[in-house]
Structure formats: C-alpha cells, structure tokens
Structure 1
Amino acid sequence: MRADRHQKKKKKRWPSILFVFLLLIAAVSGYAYYQYKQGVNQSLKKMNQDKKTAKVVYDFAGQKDQYGDTNVLLLGSDARGNEKSRSDTIMILHYNEDKGTFKLTSIMRDSYVAIPGHTKHKINSAFARGGPELMRQTIKHNFDIDLQYYAIVDFQGFVQLIDELFPNGVEMNVEKKMSTNIYPPLQPGLQRLNGAQMLSYVRFRHDAIGDFGRVERQQKAIKAIKDQLSGLKTIAKLPKLIGVVTPYINTNMATTDGVSMAKDFLSGDQNIETLRIPVDNSFTEERISGEGAVLDIDVEKNKEALHQFITK
C-alpha cells in the first residue's frame, strides 16, 4: 500500500516539475526578447530613423563549403543597403561548428581578379556591380570556396557594438599617430579606445603601407575584442547585443543561427587565426588604366594558401 501511494505521489509530481520547467523557459525567452527589443530601440533612437525603414533584400545562393564548414562573407560599408557603393572591408569568417572554432580571412580590396560577367577589376567593385551575390560568385570563381551567409555591416553598427560591449573602451596599443582622413584622431601608446576611436583605428590607411596596414589593424582589433570579452557575463548580454547591431546589419542569416555562432565566439577560449589575401610573395603592385593602383595577384597561389589555412 505504501509503495502504491509513493508511486502515485511520484506520478503527480511530474506534471508540476514539467510546468515549472516550461514556465522557466518562457520567462527566460521573454526576458531575452525584451533585452533584444531594448537593443533594437536603442540603436533606432540613435539612428533617428523610423522603425519600419526597410533594408535591401539581396538574393544570395550560399551554401556550406566542401569541408562542411560555414563561411560568412563580411562586408563593411558606409552606405548600408546601397548597391552603388564599393565594399570598404572584405572578410570571410570561417566557422567550424564541430570544433566551435573561428578563423578570419581578409581580402584586400584592390586585389585585381576576374569578376564573373565583368572581366577583371578590383574585387571590391563586385559589390557595386552585383551586391553580395556577385561578391560570392567572384570569391568562388577565384578561390574555390563557398560562402553560406553574408553580413553587410554599417560602420556605425561597429561603433555602437563596441560601446555596448566595452563601456570603458577596448585596450589597444596604437602604434603611431593617426589623423589623416579619420575622426577622431589617435595618438600613439597603450590606451582604451571607445567605439568611434576604434573605428578610426581600423579605417586608417594614410601611411607608408596603406591598405596593408589597415588590414593588419582590422585583424588586430578583432583579436583584441575577442581576448577582452568577459565570457559568461557577455553571453548574458547577448540578446541585447544582437538587438543593438540588428538595425546596422543587412544579412541573410537567421537570428537563431547568429545567436548560436555569437555564443560560440564569445565563450570560446581559443585565439582567432587570421590570413591576408594576397599572401606574401604572391602579387605585384601595378597601375591599370581605368582602375588605378591594383594588386595583380597569383590566384592559384592564394587559392592554395586559403584552403590550407581553412583545413589545418
């Protein structure tokens, strides 16, 4: 009899436990959504735009690469959603879901390559000619790598994200005075940079090494951001962070996929490996009529370097 009563109590207890569990999930989901909307509204207020402002919808025939990994085409632009603008920054974020690891490839914008349907031009013009889809086709055609997603990032979104993540700034060692064609200007030395200052740092290119230095600084900045993130505390802020950058990003990635990747990025303790295309000793600097200064690259050598980097 006692055993029967104990069994009945056990059966009655399970619905209560399930109800509490579902209630907890609903509460967490509701709070996450509230934080997300707070982030969105915060950025919209700073943008001084109507909430119903539409983003350009791009066709993008992306897929996982031949190694089963996810590659995200990252394009930096001052004119979000403007098909006439060239992409100022071109990166590929490589994500290995099984390992939870990330690698980053920067493609220099003056790389002189074949653009499908448009002969040879600087690679950054592919965006102006056909949006992220033509950029995807160009990278596939030259380097034989598939890209599943794209994300066009307005640089002001970068500023807002840095200020939200790092209220006290990101610690950076600024290697030289930087002032030409950027604001605010930067002085050399170890210091904490806010969002606007970080944008100046990653965009400066008016020195002896030009775009090569800028690409190096962009990769250095991303590594510093990753190294200085505070693990669980940052993950707890993830819904609001996603909301903060959403108005500034045009992407074909579902929010759930973005959250999953962001969680792995924030929680992982491994360093981000980086690659620059063109690699050393694989290009010559030329002047082409109608194009100006270009990097005439050895496509096969760079294709091989990219695949070795992804698979090692």
Structure 2
Amino acid sequence: MADNRRRKKRRKKKKSRKIVLFVFEILLLAILLVAAYFIGMVNRVKYENMSETEAGINDDLSKDTLESLEGYTNIAVFGLDNRSANNYQEGNSDVVMIASIDNKTKNVKLVSVYRDTFLSVGGGTYFKCNNAYARGGAKQAVQMLNSNLDLDIKEYVCVDWAAVVEVIDDLGGLDLNITQGEMNQINKYKKDVDGVTGKNTPNVTQYGLVHLDGTQATTYARIRKLSGDDFKRASRQRIVLQAMLEKAKKANPATLVKICNSVVDDISTTLSLDQMVSLAKDVTKYKINSTTGFPTDLTTKNMPRCGDTVIPADLVTNVKKLHEYMFDDAAYTPSQTVQAISETIVNTTGITADSAKINTSDYNETVGATGTDEIQKGSETTGGTNVQ
C-alpha cells in the first residue's frame, strides 16, 4: 500500500505537468481561457482544490492498474440539474461524463455514465449515481466515480443549464438533425430551461436538419421520453457537445470575448490558472475519437426509494470492459474495493452478470453524428420515463 502511495505521488507530479485542456474543449472553457487571458476575467472562475484523499482514489489499485492509468488523464464533467443558475453546492448531476485523454496520442474517449446507475454514492449508501453530487457536491461525485470504477480522477468541471444556453447562443446556435418526436419534446419541455434562464424561447417548427438556439439545444440534450430513454439521452448530450466544439473552433475573437463575459461566472473547476495558461497552446491537438456509455452490460429494475434504476450486470464485468475501452488494458483486474461494491449490488438487486437484458450498443458511438437518427435507425416512439 505504501508503494502504491509513492507511485501515486510520482504519477501526480508527472500529470500535473500534463493536465490537458480537453475539459475546456468539452465545455468551451478553452474559449473562455483565450478571452479571459486577455481581458483579465479569469479570476471570476470558481476554483476548488481537491486532494488525492478527497478524490477517493482506491488504495488497493494493483501495480498493473496504476501503470495502465499512468499514460492517461481522466477528468470528470458534471452538468447540474438544480433548477437554479450559478449554484454548484447542491442538486443532482444531470450529466455525468468522463473524458479520458491519452497523453501521448492526444486522442480522447468520452464516456457517459448513465445518471440512474445503481452505485455506491458514499457513506455505505447505494443509490442512483447522480445523487452523489446532491450528497456532497463535486468532490463526492468524483469520489463516487473513482471508488466504483477504479479511476484516478482529480480534476473536474461543473456547469449548469444557464451556462450551456449562453455559450450556445453566443456561438450563434447549433445545426442538429432532429426527429419529429424530438421536436415535440423540445417544445414541451423548453419551459423548464426558460424557468432557469428567464428567456422566452419560441417553438421549433420543423424537424430534420434545423437550427436550434441555446435553450432549444439544451432541451434537446435533456430528452428522455422517447425510445432509448436515458441511454439515448446520453447520446444527445454528446452530440450537442461535439457540435459546440466544432462551432467554437471557428469562432472569431469578438465571439470569444462575448462568451467569456456571458459565462465566466457560471463555471466551477479544480483546474488552476497556471494549468490553463500553460496548456492553452495545445488545445487544437486533442480530438474526440470515440464515445460510449457506462455500464455496457445492464438491465433496469424498480428499486425501493430509487424507482426505475439502471443496474450493472455486474459491476466487475462492466469495470473490466471500461478499462479495456479507456486504457486498452485487457489484463485489468478490479480492486478488492470494486469487487466488494459489485457483490453488494448483486446482493441488493439480485442482478448478476447473467442478467444483462438491454443492448445499448446502437447509442454509444456518436463521433461525427449530428442527430440520433445517424446512430440508430428506426422509428421514434413515445414511452419510458419523462424528462426530469
């Protein structure tokens, strides 16, 4: 265990010089940085310090796992569903993503952790994983990811609906390919986002390839009440994210300054000013080359206090597949911590590795897609759970 701690300290020193700016690509913080660097606003960003102990990295990671993680930087991204703007102390995390960056190739894999996944959320409690944020903010949400998935996340970025709406509007909106069902859902639920931002957003009147403003695109990313439920919702979130990145890379300096003024107050992150400035020059080197959802082997079950819940079948199986996907580590063995969590989930839910019943493979890869009909063919039918 002492050797593990020493290796972690050495790894931390190395990674502190390698913390990539991909997080800023994800939420357009690279754009904010460029503008803020010149107009002196970066001190308005809410910075949080998080120690390795606070990050909840498992102490029983094997030597091989530590070596596998060595070449990657893993960063958590949280989008908050707190029905209020600029509030990062409470609320469930509507979006839970992990960006895994290969420090050598600069290739990025983006993983959506389904927010309703039944996991340990801290303090011996098992619940939907998005509840970890409500229980202890971003630090507990990071702890949840590290302890359940054998990761070493020490950096995070948080945004809320208002920040995403403002960035998309300042970029001039997004061109997305939506279905008729998605159009109807945008028009039905845009009032929820308007309630946070104070805007009065018009209806979307066409489907197919359409131009959406910030509220419409953010509402699109929240749709659950269509085929695919939360699995397809996570795909929509990545599609919006990718469209934002492409639009941002073409933005002019005046647009960058406008974005900075709009949302620099609406971001909470562990990344320091020194880290941002030293890595700004590398932002164009990073490329999203693959995306997926977690867990991959799963079923759903109505759980006491939780309601409809995503159950990994089982956690050990899924974490093995996750490490192979993220780090090309086919020989990974889960820690005793993950094995114990997995066993508790099996005993609590009755769901084993043989219980996987839902195939989400059609929703996982979104790179290059501008809409959900490009990742899965088939008619859109209503059903499932409402947007929450």
Q: Could you say which TM-score interval applies, normalised by the shorter chain? A: 0.7 to 0.9
Q: Cα deviation per residue 1:187-221 (whole Å; 9 max; x = unaligned)?
A: 42101222222111111222233212211111112
Asked whether 1:275 is paired with 2:278, we answer no
* C-alpha distance in structure 2 between counterparts of 1:290 and 1:201, whole Å: 28
* C-alpha distance in structure 2 between counterparts of 1:103 and 1:244, whole Å: 29
Q: Which residue of 2 aligns with 1:248?
A: 266
In structure 2, the CA distance between the partners of 1:113 and 1:172, relative to structure 1 (3 Å rule), is: same
Question: Which one of the candidate residues 150, 171, 194 is aligned to 2:175?
Answer: 171
In structure 2, the CA distance between the partners of 1:81 and 1:260, relative to structure 1 (3 Å rule), is: farther
Q: Which residue of 1 aligns with 2:301?
A: 286
Q: SS in structure 1 opposite 2:168?
A: helix
* C-alpha distance in structure 2 between counterparts of 1:31 and 1:196, whole Å: 24
Q: Which residue of 2 aligns with 1:215?
A: 234
* C-alpha distance in structure 1 between counterparts of 2:134 and 2:280, whole Å: 28
Q: Which residue of 2 aligns with 1:140?
A: 146
* C-alpha distance in structure 1 between counterparts of 2:138 and 2:237, whole Å: 21
Question: Which one of the candidate residues 89, 94, 97 is aligned to 2:95?
Answer: 89
Asked whether 1:181 is paired with 2:189, we answer yes
Q: How many percent identity over aligned positions?
A: 27
User: For structure 2, which runs of at least 5 residues remain unmatched after alignment?
Assistant: 1-32, 58-65, 192-200, 329-388
In structure 2, the CA distance between the partners of 1:30 and 1:100, relative to structure 1 (3 Å rule), is: closer
Cα contact 1:113–1:122 (8 A) shared by 2: yes
Cα contact 1:56–1:81 (8 A) shared by 2: no
Q: Cα deviation per residue 1:249-269 (whole Å; 9 max; x = unaligned)?
A: 11111134345666544x247
Asked whether 1:205 is paired with 2:209, we answer no
* C-alpha distance in structure 2 between counterparts of 1:153 and 1:31, whole Å: 18
* C-alpha distance in structure 2 between counterparts of 1:194 and 1:262, whole Å: 28
In structure 2, the CA distance between the partners of 1:201 and 1:218, relative to structure 1 (3 Å rule), is: same
Cα contact 1:36–1:239 (8 A) shared by 2: no
* C-alpha distance in structure 1 between counterparts of 2:281 and 2:252, whole Å: 9
Tell me the amino acid that sits aligned with residue 273 of structure 1.
S
Asked whether 1:305 is paired with 2:304, we answer no
**Structure 1 residue 31: Cα displacement:** 8.4
Cα contact 1:202–1:218 (8 A) shared by 2: yes
Question: Which one of the candidate residues 55, 72, 77 is aligned to 1:74?
Answer: 77
Q: Cα deviation per residue 1:232-279 (whole Å; 9 max; x = unaligned)?
A: x558965664554321111111134345666544x2474441110111
Matches within 5 A, 1:47-62: 59=50, 61=52, 62=55
Q: SS in structure 1 opposite 2:190?
A: coil
**Structure 1 residue 301: Cα displacement:** 2.1
In structure 2, the CA distance between the partners of 1:269 and 1:203, relative to structure 1 (3 Å rule), is: same
Q: Which residue of 2 aligns with 1:191?
A: 210
Q: SS in structure 2 opposite 1:203?
A: coil
Question: Which one of the candidate residues 108, 116, 120 is aligned to 1:114?
Answer: 120
Larger radius of gyration: 1
**Structure 1 residue 286: Cα displacement:** 0.4
How many residue pairs are counted as aligned between the two chains?
Answer: 265
Q: Cα deviation per residue 1:28-78 (whole Å; 9 max; x = unaligned)?
A: x998644454x99xxxxxxxxxx8xx9695745348982332222111114
* C-alpha distance in structure 2 between counterparts of 1:66 and 1:299, whole Å: 19
In structure 2, the CA distance between the partners of 1:60 and 1:75, relative to structure 1 (3 Å rule), is: farther
TM-score by structure 2 length? 0.60
CA RMSD of aligned residues (A): 3.3
Q: SS in structure 2 opposite 1:147?
A: coil
Cα contact 2:69–2:327 (8 A) shared by 1: no
Q: Which moved more, 1:102-111 or 1:237-246?
A: 237-246
Tell me the amino acid that sits aligned with residue 190 of structure 2.
I
Cα contact 2:221–2:233 (8 A) shared by 1: yes
Q: Which moved more, 1:153-162 or 1:58-67?
A: 58-67
* C-alpha distance in structure 2 between counterparts of 1:124 and 1:276, whole Å: 15
Tell me the amino acid that sits aligned with residue 294 of structure 1.
T
* C-alpha distance in structure 2 between counterparts of 1:88 and 1:309, whole Å: 24
Cα contact 1:149–1:252 (8 A) shared by 2: yes
**Structure 1 residue 310: Cα displacement:** 1.6
**Structure 1 residue 170: Cα displacement:** 1.6
Tell me the amino acid that sits aligned with residue 215 of structure 2.
A
**Structure 1 residue 174: Cα displacement:** 1.1
Q: SS in structure 2 opposite 1:173?
A: strand
In structure 2, the CA distance between the partners of 1:156 and 1:32, relative to structure 1 (3 Å rule), is: closer
Q: Which residue of 1 aligns with 2:133?
A: 127
In structure 2, the CA distance between the partners of 1:228 and 1:117, relative to structure 1 (3 Å rule), is: same
